[in-house]
Amino acid sequence: MDDPFDVLGLEPRYDLDDRAMHRRYIEQGAANHPDRFTDPLDQADAAERTARLNEAYRVLKSPELRAEALMARWGGSAKGDDKSLPPELLMEVMETRESMEEAKAGGNQKKLDEIARWARDQREEALRGVAELLTQAGPMPQADRPPLLARCRVSLNVLRYFDRMIDEAKG
């Protein structure tokens, strides 16, 4: 995959301005739209560039995917390579899942909604931590980033546990 920051010509940073990013996407999309070209080869190249622009915009619009893109760009570990978690998380998740199963078995929708709200709050807290770490890491020299990127990886890994819990509480 192409680096989405390079594709859209944006500074690699977590705290992107949504309007500026959208404006850049629209400008580049218009400049590279296949309908602007008459030659079939140029149209095919434009279609490929447009697909890359669409993918880059999709990635950068998502805070989690934007964080993953920065991790890759700055040399942080990929989610498949480092599954580190806070030590207390697994116990907390197991206990909450047990409560969830009891609520499901008893038809206690109020409890399931409460668990889903809690999981969303935990997810948002982890995502705020990711934002803070990546914002701090941005202006640092590359050599000073690894400790922050390692902490960021842990927070990104936490997100998937709460995503699953939110899904499980719904169904």
Predicted local distance difference test score (pLDDT) of residue 170: 83
Topology of domain 4-61, CATH: Helix Hairpins (1.10.287)
Predicted local distance difference test score (pLDDT) of residue 126: 96
Predicted local distance difference test score (pLDDT) of residue 138: 93
Do the Cβ atoms of 163 and 117 come closer than 8 Å?
A: no
Distance CA 138, CA 7 (A): 19
Predicted local distance difference test score (pLDDT) of residue 71: 96
Overall residue count recorded for the chain in this entry: 171
Per-residue pLDDT tens digits of the chain, which is 171 residues long: 799 999 999 999 999 999 999 999 999 999 988 888 888 887 888 889 999 999 999 999 999 999 999 999 999 999 899 999 998 999 999 999 999 999 999 999 999 999 999 999 999 999 999 999 999 999 999 999 999 999 999 999 999 999 999 999 886
Torsion of CA 45, 69, 26, 46, to 10 degrees: 0
Residue 82: CB partners within 8 Å, gap ≥ 6? 150, 153, 157
pTM for this model (two decimals) = 0.89
Predicted local distance difference test score (pLDDT) of residue 16: 95
Predicted local distance difference test score (pLDDT) of residue 119: 96
Predicted local distance difference test score (pLDDT) of residue 34: 83
